[in-house]
């Protein structure tokens, strides 16, 4: 897993929004957070981007629902998405205030 994390670290994309405006976008920190998650450093992963785990959960739930057609899958996805977006917005506002 360290090889994957090392490769990801060397091939990070730059944020075009930040390059143009000079302000972090709501997704800034997600790549670093994912690299920390791959390395098993959950504390730093959460610190870089608190919404990463909810984003991954929502994407996984959506993919599973597309294959298995859960009975209430659409509702779970909807609420998971709303929770994830709420975490993204709150953490972004906190980042801007600091």
Statement: residue 1 has pLDDT above 80: no
pLDDT digits (tens, 9 = 90+) for 48-77: 999 999 999 999 999 999 999 999 999 999
Q: Are 24 and 63 contained in the same domain? A: no
Q: Are 44 and 56 contained in the same domain? A: no
Q: Give, in order, the Cα–Cα distances in Å from 31 to each of 49, 53, 66, 73.
A: 9, 12, 26, 28
- At residue 83, the pLDDT reads 98
Mean pLDDT within 6-16: 94
Domain count across the chain: 2
- At residue 98, the pLDDT reads 86
Q: Are 39 and 60 contained in the same domain? A: no
Question: Helix or strand or coil: residue 36?
Answer: helix
Nearest CA among 34, 55, 59 for reference residue 44: 34
Q: Which residues span the domain enclosing 85?
A: 50-98
Q: Are 67 and 30 contained in the same domain? A: no
In the chain, the percentage of residues whose pLDDT exceeds 90 is 97
Q: Are 54 and 87 contained in the same domain? A: yes
Whole-angstrom distance, CA of residue 18 vs CA of residue 93: 16
Of 49, 73, 88, the residue at which a domain comes to its end is 49
Q: Are 97 and 57 contained in the same domain? A: yes
């Amino acid at each position: 897993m360290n090889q994957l994390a090392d490769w990801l670290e060397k091939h990070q994309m730059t944020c075009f929004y930040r390059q143009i405006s000079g302000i972090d976008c709501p997704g800034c920190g997600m790549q670093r957070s994912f690299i920390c998650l791959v390395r098993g450093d959950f504390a730093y992963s959460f610190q870089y981007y608190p919404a990463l785990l909810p984003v991954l959960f929502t994407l996984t739930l959506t993919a599973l629902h597309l294959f298995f057609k859960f009975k209430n899958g659409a509702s779970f996805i909807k609420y998971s998405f709303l929770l994830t977006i709420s975490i993204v917005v709150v953490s972004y506002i906190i980042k801007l205030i600091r």
